[in-house]
Structure formats: C-alpha cells, structure tokens
Amino acid sequence: MFVHLLIGTKTTIMRHALSPTPADETGIALAKIQFEQQSPAGLIAWYNKQQKPGMVGVHRQVLRCLALHEVFQERFGYSPFVVEGQLVVGFGPPLALTPGGIEAVV
C-alpha cells in the first residue's frame, strides 16, 4: 500500500510495506540502541533527512524508522511516523525542536 502526499507540485511516496524477515527484530534493536544515544536534535535531524525524500524502498531504512518510532514514543510521548503493526511505515511532516519537545513543521 502506498500513500502519496502532494507537496507543492511534487508527489512523494510516504509509506512502505515491510516484508518481515527473521533478522528484523535484531536490526530494529541495534538501531534503537544507536538512536537512544543521540540528542533530541540528532534524532530530529535524522528524521528530517529521511522524511524529505520519503520511503525509498530500502529494507534497512524501514527498520531504522521503526526503531526511531519507538525512541520518539519513549522520549517525547509522540512519534511522527505512521506505523500500523510493523507492516507499514510512513513519515509525517518535518519536525523542529522546541523548548517543550518536538513540533511538526507544516
């Protein structure tokens, strides 16, 4: 399933259907450890860098997005990712760091 988001005159694929493999849990756990060590600004920078082109169909990108989704939920109580189980992952709007946490930039 793909959802297209119209940004100006550019259409970007914002979701990716994950085809799970046995090694996915390990990949997500390792990425999560790396993200947990980053500052809020580092997390937002990584998210915004990935959000701009959208999902490019790379399995590892999806695993890292799922890991970052968990870290955002734990750290901020909110995640900009659209996650349905672990089968579909999509990006929300770009983010900015605010004194109170994170904020969507629209």
Q: What is the pLDDT of residues 10-49, one digit of tens each?
A: 444 466 777 778 898 999 999 999 999 999 999 999 999 9
Q: Say what the pTM is.
A: 0.79
Q: Using one digit for the tens of pLDDT, what is the confidence trace for 73-98?
A: 999 998 988 887 766 678 888 899 88
Please state, in angstroms and rounded to a whole number, the distance separating the CA atoms of residues 16 and 59: 9
pLDDT of residue 71: 96
Return the pLDDT at 70: 94
Residue 99: per-residue pLDDT: 87
Phi, psi of 61 (to 5 degrees): -60, -45
Q: How many structural domains are present in the chain?
A: 1
Distance (Å) of CA 27 to CA 20, 31, 38, 42, 82: 11, 6, 17, 20, 19
Domain encompassing residue 96: 4-104
The per-residue pLDDT for 19 is 76
**Residue 20 identity (one-letter amino acid):** P
